[in-house]
């Protein structure tokens, strides 16, 4: 398991003041940017041009979560836009191995996401091709949804597969992560935590990042 990292999602931030919003969370390890195309998910956010501007406005690396169709064709633009990590959904990729290799070759960390109903087992042999696996803990598309406990066994199974293969792939969880749910995720083996509404609805977002980090670290150490 890697060290605990907190990656706040800007989905619930004020899009008209994104630079200032990101500046409110200096202790974030990454900034999680949710790209939605109103096709793969029923919601629309922003594309590579805006992501490129955001990348230029902060020293914190960007973690792009692409909820877009035809990931094979569309994902490389987010490496070019300056993201340090690019996550595509396996449900939207025709050739996930080729795409992961392309993202790595272009200079970013390659990551693959699974929706709650997508099993991990068919992808076990593919894990060494990835720098990170994202297990969604809500149906992708919206912030502020309730955490799905039914995803916890999949997180445990993914962590044992990684241990079995002796690989350092990070295991990220995304959706409904809060002070109430983060311990369960860390105990199950997650080490990278996306939190959107928990961080941006807090009076002090950076203090919330610290509180989430402390809870996850304590749970992972137990
Ligand atoms: O990818 C998504 C939603 O599809 C997430 O990144 C959410 O934006 C996280 O928000 P919260 O569930 O933490 O409010
Ligand atoms: Fe996300």
3-state SS of 123-142 is HHHHHHHCCEEEEECCCCCC
Given a cut of 70, the residues of the chain with pLDDT beneath it are 1
Per-residue model confidence (pLDDT) at position 172: 98
- The residue whose C-alpha atom lies closest to atom 7 belonging to ligand 1 is 143
Q: Binding site annotation covers 89?
A: no
The HSE-up count of residue 26 (CA atoms within 13 Å, CB side) is 0
Query: Can you give 24-53 as a three-state secondary structure string?
Result: CCCCCCCEEEEEEECCCCCCECCCHHHHHH
Rounded to the nearest angstrom, the gap between the alpha carbon of residue 1 and the centroid of all alpha carbons in its chain is: 16
Q: How far is CA 128 from CA 28, 50, 95, 141, in A?
A: 26, 31, 15, 28
Per-residue model confidence (pLDDT) at position 222: 79
Residue 65 Cα to ligand 2 middle (Å): 5
Look up the ipTM and state it: 0.99
The closest-lying atom of ligand 1 relative to the alpha carbon of residue 41 is 4
Q: Across-strand partners of 33?
A: 64
pLDDT digits (tens, 9 = 90+) for 154-169: 999 999 999 999 999 9
SS3 185: helix
| 8 Å CB contact between 83 and 33 | yes
Residue 173 Cα to ligand 1 middle (Å): 10
Q: Is the pTM of this model over 0.90?
A: yes
Establish whether 29 is a catalytic residue: no
SS3 149: helix
**Closest to 162 (Cα-Cα) out of 193, 131, 194:** 131
pLDDT digits (tens, 9 = 90+) for 177-200: 999 999 999 999 999 999 999 999
Ligand 1 and 48: CB distance under 6 A: no
Ligand 1 and 176: CB distance under 6 A: yes
Neighbours of ion ligand 2 (CB under 5 A): 34, 65, 174
Largest CA distance in the chain: 45
The closest-lying atom of ligand 1 relative to the alpha carbon of residue 176 is 12
């Amino acid at each position: 398991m890697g060290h605990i990292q907190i990656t706040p999602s800007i989905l619930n931030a004020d899009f008209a003041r994104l630079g200032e919003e990101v500046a409110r969370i200096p202790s974030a390890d990454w900034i999680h940017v949710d790209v939605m195309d109103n096709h793969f998910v029923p919601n629309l956010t922003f594309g590579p041009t805006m992501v490129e501007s955001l990348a230029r406005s902060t020293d914190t690396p960007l973690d792009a979560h692409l909820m877009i169709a035809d990931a094979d064709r569309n994902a490389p633009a987010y490496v070019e836009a300056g993201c340090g990590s690019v996550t595509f959904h396996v449900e939207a990729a025709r050739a996930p191995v080729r795409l992961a290799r392309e993202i790595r070759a272009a200079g970013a960390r390659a990551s693959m996401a699974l929706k709650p109903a997508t099993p991990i087992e068919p992808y076990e042999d593919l894990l060494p091709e990835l720098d990170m696996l994202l297990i969604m803990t809500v149906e992708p598309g919206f912030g502020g949804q309730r955490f799905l406990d039914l995803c916890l066994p999949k997180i445990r199974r993914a962590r044992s597969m990684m241990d079995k293969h002796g690989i350092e792939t990070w295991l990220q969880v995304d959706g409904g992560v809060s002070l109430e749910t983060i311990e369960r995720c860390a105990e199950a083996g997650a080490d990278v935590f996306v939190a959107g509404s928990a961080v941006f609805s807090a009076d002090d977002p950076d203090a919330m990042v610290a509180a989430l980090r402390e809870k996850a670290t304590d749970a992972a150490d137990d």
